[in-house]
Structure 1
Amino acid sequence: MGKGPQETVTTETVTTSLAGTVSEEISASLAPVDAELERRYPGDPGTRQPVHTVYVPADAFAADTVRTWGDRALAALDEHAPDAASFAACLGLSDGLAVPVYARVRAKLEREPIEDLRVDFEDGYGPRPDAEEDAAAARAARLVAEAYAKGTAAPYMGIRMKCLEAAVRDRGIRTLDIFLTGLMEAGGLPEGLVLTLPKVTYPEQVTAMVRLLEAFEKARDLAPGRLGFEIQIETSQAVLAADGTATVARMIQAAEGRATGLHYGTFDYSACLGVSAAHQASDHPAADHAKAVMQVAAAGTGVRVSDGSTNVLPVGTTEKVHDAWRLHYGLTRRALARAYYQGWDMHPAHIPTRYAAVFAFYREGFAQAAERLSRYAGRVGGDVMDEPATAKALSGYLLRGLDCGALDLAEVADATGLSRTALEGFAAPRRGDLTVSG
């Protein structure tokens, strides 16, 4: 093989002015900050985030609830959108998305209709005689344990207890105790267990929840930190404190690493601000402000943000169902664009448009995201200059699409040349990797 052109190597003289100890002194002075960054901002946990949460009142929860909701959702499709063309016409799906989205929605409803289910002992259940709620909590534990044992459970399941305000505090604590104890007696806590603490107003209530869970872990010889919980943001005080600080940021810290999510409560929060019933919605400016504060407070902490729900139910005539579907689809797509990847669904007929919106969102952007990530991974130039932070977002996008069923692993691997493990590596880079380029 012949020799190529001779390269001229220029030797530069490198000089410095700072003493070698300066860097060491700077590092020593910043060591507490380094530790604080690692503690407070560990990054996303890298686990699956459900696309929705379904709340079912405790007295309505049954062994077949997950399957029943799936069957009712399928029945709604059969009645009001029996084929891909009618569903696409209702929602405004493009010709290229109509068939694949409809097929994936039906398959999802048959295979995994609910991703996250919360047995509700709060607003959806209301005040009951103590003996009745005791029995309902024990029954919920038994049914949840049986569902996991039989493989019929949603990937995530748990309860929403009553809040820690004085009037219902003891009742909430007792219900949580009965439910968790029932799970332990039935074989242990399932991996998908999720607990929700509603109507949190002060960080001290979050601290109290931490102490409560610590006490249960100690009583049942569980590993410290085994129990986490979601915080529902439903009051103005949860967003802005009396001193002007962002209460929600203080709540995350008060959770001492146990907070898993911040869930926006559309109607309680709206009512708290005096928004009239006709205008209480997840796209109201007041809702956008609250969720923006939640999002910034949670960024980098590993705590995920969930949007709220719509109370417009897809029931009645086909015209009314289609109107409700278009509303729900639009709100879900709006939330996804704003990086709220989870929301609440209140009725089985909401589920088809939840999945339609999610699947369309990931399939519409799949080709571009895959190409950009492939170019980045291969260090090939293109018409967009991506950086490590963008590669993180691109891989996270593809992983979310895979987790919910919008994308298949084979098509993602073919388009990117990357395995799931490689995608996860881009989605969870080391802290320094995100600051190298920008």
Structure 2
Amino acid sequence: MGQQESVTTSLASGVSAEIGRSLAAVDAELARRYPGDPGTRQPVHTVYVPGDVFTADTIRSWGDQALAALDEHAPDAASLARVLGLSDALAGPVYERVRAKLDREPVEDLRIDFEDGYGTRPDAEEDEAAARAARLVHAAYADGTAAPYTGIRMKCLEAAVRDRSIRTLDIFLSGLMKAGGLPDGLVLTLPKVTYAEQVTAMVRLAEEFERALGLAPGRIGFEIQIETSQAVLAADGTATVARMIDAAGGRATGLHYGTFDYSAGVGVSAAHQSSDHPAADHAKAVMQVAAAGTGVRVCDGSTNVLPVGPSARVHEAWRLHYRLTRRALARAYYQGWDMHPAHLPTRYAAVYAFYREGLEPAAARLAAYVAKTGGAVADVMDEPATAKALSGYLLRGLDCGALDRDEVGRLTGLTRADLEAFAIPRRAARRATAR
């Protein structure tokens, strides 16, 4: 070996340490505000069912109705491919996986609704419905029939319904604790949030519940529904949604866009209220940037065009829902709302086609990145951020059932743990530090 060339430096020995001390507060603030994605599964959708309609067999009923819609309006892979424009290569695998999903796990995220979908009822009636919801949710988790994520949407914290909202939440959480405890998949949704102070109030409620019920601090999280223009842009021109995330103090798990309330609020006529309207795109883009890096996930809204009636009408509604879902996925909104059982076939068809179409290119790019050879994609110079995106894409495909672990492993040479290390590097680094 040749003689090592000497290295010349100019800075005094203490400069680096001094710079580190000057940025210590910033380092701590970055870690607090931007911890990165939690690395947990994100459901591909949320299904809302009114509190008085929810029963022990709601999930199975939605799955059966979705399968019946397929049987009637697209009884085989070729017919669904014609409706949605799927390629011959995708049609069979997508159709088979959709049917299997509807049989095995038709709903990934269920919200029992005590807000718009439920309306105003006598207090005694809503009390009983909230208590009943707690009993049914506990029983579903106990017997394995619950959706992976389940919870309630109570009324908002505006003055007119505030007491009713708090009481419904109290009855539901107290009922779960009495029955055996809060399930791991519990999700609470706070609707019609306009000011960050309402989020602060929800945090106060969570803290009081934790003290009253003997729960660990921070156990109760919640989603924030963005349904008003004031939730996106404050009177002083700042992004209210960013303030809401900060006000949640780490308890916010998601931001859900409310297509119709928001569209109506900014003056969009009913015929043009859709998740692809420019007003919707603007709101979701602000939500997306505000949530980036915080661990808070963004959820798209819904379509109110229901796939019901004769086949021609169902097919038209399916094409719309499929297109809107694919559009959302391309814009990194990996979750949306579904309003009817017959939306489930196109929800899963769109999700599965999205991940299966990109499986081989994504796997090839990731394998080439790992091998540092360029491989079959030598014209693409990928960076760590791209490897993170590729791994996250494959993990989401695995979680929803679009992809199988064996095929991903065969194409990438990586295990799920390997993918997670690429997808959430800061989290992986923290785990390594903790060890």
Q: When the two structures are superposed, what TM-score results if normalisation uses the length of structure 2?
A: 0.97
Give RMSD over aligned pairs: 1.1
Q: Which amino acid aligns with 1:352?
A: P
- CA shift, 1:395, in A, is 0.3
Q: Which amino acid aligns with 1:328?
A: H
Q: Deviations over 1:77-133 (max 9, x none)?
A: 000000000000000000100000000000000000000000000000000000000
Query: Partner of 2:416 in structure 1?
Result: 420
Displaced runs of 4 or more, over 3 A = 8-11
Structure 2 CA distance, aligned partners of 1:406 and 1:143? 30
Query: Partner of 2:284 in structure 1?
Result: 291
- CA shift, 1:12, in A, is 2.7
- CA shift, 1:432, in A, is 12
1:242 is aligned to 2:238: no
Instruction: Note the residue ranges of structure 1 that are not aligned, 5 or more in a row.
Output: 1-7, 434-438
Query: Partner of 2:155 in structure 1?
Result: 162
Q: Deviations over 1:285-335 (max 9, x none)?
A: 000000000000000000000000000000001000000000000000000
For 2:400, which of 404, 418, 421 is the aligned residue? 404
- CA shift, 1:384, in A, is 1.1
Structure 2 CA distance, aligned partners of 1:273 and 1:129? 32
Instruction: Note the residue ranges of structure 2 that are not aligned, 5 or more in a row.
Output: 430-435
Identity %: 81
Structure 1 CA distance, aligned partners of 2:427 and 2:341? 41
Corresponding residue SS for 1:128: coil
Q: Deviations over 1:377-428 (max 9, x none)?
A: 1222222111111000000000000000000000001111101111111111
Query: Partner of 2:381 in structure 1?
Result: 385
1:362 is aligned to 2:355: yes
Q: Is the 8 A contact 2:196 2:243 kept in 1?
A: yes
For 1:105, which of 89, 98, 103 is the aligned residue? 98
- CA shift, 1:376, in A, is 1.1
Q: Deviations over 1:140-163 (max 9, x none)?
A: 000000000010000000000000
Query: Partner of 2:346 in structure 1?
Result: 353
Structure 2 CA distance, aligned partners of 1:378 and 1:188? 47
Matching of residues 100-179 of structure 1 within 5 Å: 100-179=93-172
Structure 2 CA distance, aligned partners of 1:125 and 1:290? 26
Query: Partner of 2:176 in structure 1?
Result: 183
Matching of residues 273-284 of structure 1 within 5 Å: 273-284=266-277
Corresponding residue SS for 1:53: strand
For 2:88, which of 67, 91, 95 is the aligned residue? 95
Structure 2 CA distance, aligned partners of 1:379 and 1:144? 49
- CA shift, 1:375, in A, is 1.1
Q: What is the aligned length?
A: 426
- CA shift, 1:20, in A, is 1.0
1:395 is aligned to 2:386: no
Structure 2 CA distance, aligned partners of 1:302 and 1:331? 25
Structure 2 CA distance, aligned partners of 1:11 and 1:146? 70
Structure 2 CA distance, aligned partners of 1:421 and 1:99? 30
Corresponding residue SS for 1:90: helix
- CA shift, 1:240, in A, is 0.2
Query: Partner of 1:328 in structure 2?
Result: 321
Q: Is the 8 A contact 2:111 2:151 kept in 1?
A: yes
- CA shift, 1:11, in A, is 3.6
Query: Partner of 2:334 in structure 1?
Result: 341
Structure 2 CA distance, aligned partners of 1:303 and 1:324? 31
Corresponding residue SS for 1:69: helix
Q: Deviations over 1:196-225 (max 9, x none)?
A: 000000000000000001000000100000
- CA shift, 1:9, in A, is 4.2
Structure 1 CA distance, aligned partners of 2:428 and 2:161? 46
Query: Partner of 2:37 in structure 1?
Result: 44
Query: Partner of 2:58 in structure 1?
Result: 65
Q: Deviations over 1:152-203 (max 9, x none)?
A: 0000000000000000000000000000001001100000000000000000
